[in-house]
Amino acid sequence: MNCLIVDDDRVCRTVLEKYIDRTKLFEKYFSLESAIDALKLLQKGKDKIDILFLDIEMPEMNGMELLSVMDHTPQVIIVSSREKYALNAFEYDVTDYLLKPVTFPRFMRSVNRAIANIQKDAKVNQDVREDIFSEDEWGKGILWIKNNSKLDPVNPEDIIYIESVENYAQFITFDDKYTVHYTLKLLDEKLPNKLFIRIHRSYIVNVKQIKRIHGNTLEVETKDGTHSLPFGKSYRDPLLKRLHVLSSKQ
C-alpha cells in the first residue's frame, strides 16, 4: 500500500512522515510540497496511490483544485490548520478531515478508516458474481442481468442511473430496478464513457437522461417522477465539460 503527502508546510510533512514510518503499514510513500507536482505524479500512474494526505492552502494550486482535476481519487485525508474548509471538503467525498497539529492516535483513526474502505472495495471486487453478461463490449450490445433465476435483457440506453447500495449497485431503468454485486468503481471502468459518467461516489448517470441541473444536483425522469441526484464537486467540471455547457447573457 502506498501513500502521498502533499503539503507546503515542511514541519507538517515531517510529522506525517514519522507517523507513516511508525505504522509500518505502507510499502512506499511520497512527500511533496506542491499540488502541481502531486498531480504530475498521479497522472504518471507509475505508483498507485492508495491514501492521499492533502493540505488545503498551498500556492499555485490548492488542495480543492487538485481534487477537482484528479482522474482517479484515492482515499483522501485532509490535513489542514483551518476548520472552515471542512464542509466544502466533504463535498469531494474525502475520507476524513484532520486539524493541525495532528496527534498520532487521531492520525491512526483516519488511516484505519481509509484502510477499511480500501479493503471493503477489494473484497467486493473479489467476490463479484457474474451478475451481468454482455453480447459484446459493454454498451455496444444488450446487457443480460441476473434477476433471481432468470436473465433479463437491458439496453444500456434505457439505464437512467446507477446507485451504490452498500456492497451492491442498483440499476434504475425506465421499467425496472436491478441489484447486482458490483462496485461503482468496477462499473465505471466497464460501462462506455460516451454514455455514462460518474457524478458522485454513490452515483453513475446516463448523460442522455439528464433533464436539468440545479446547483449541486441534477434531475432525471423515472417512472416514479422527477428524481434529484447529488453530484460531488470533484465531478462537476468533467460533467459540465461532457454536457458542452454554454453561458447565456442575462
Question: In the CATH hierarchy, which top-level class contains the domain 132-242?
Answer: mainly beta
User: Distance between CA atoms of 229 and 160, rounded to whole angstroms?
Assistant: 11
Sequential pLDDT tens for the chain (250 residues): 999 999 999 999 999 999 999 999 999 999 999 999 999 999 887 888 999 999 999 999 999 989 888 866 789 999 999 999 898 888 788 899 999 999 999 999 999 999 988 887 666 555 544 555 554 555 456 788 877 777 888 888 899 999 988 778 899 998 888 888 887 878 887 888 788 998 887 899 999 999 999 888 899 998 888 999 988 777 877 888 888 765 555 5
Domain extents in the chain? 2-126, 132-242
**Fold classified for 2-126:** Rossmann fold (3.40.50)
CA-nearest of 98, 81, 168 to 131 is: 168
Q: 232 Cβ partners below 8 Å, 6+ apart? A: 91, 92, 93, 199, 200, 201
CA-nearest of 114, 119, 157, 123 to 139 is: 157
CA-nearest of 80, 84, 25 to 51 is: 25
User: Distance between CA atoms of 190 and 193, rounded to whole angstroms?
Assistant: 9
Question: What is the pTM assigned to this prediction?
Answer: 0.63
User: Distance between CA atoms of 67 and 33, rounded to whole angstroms?
Assistant: 16
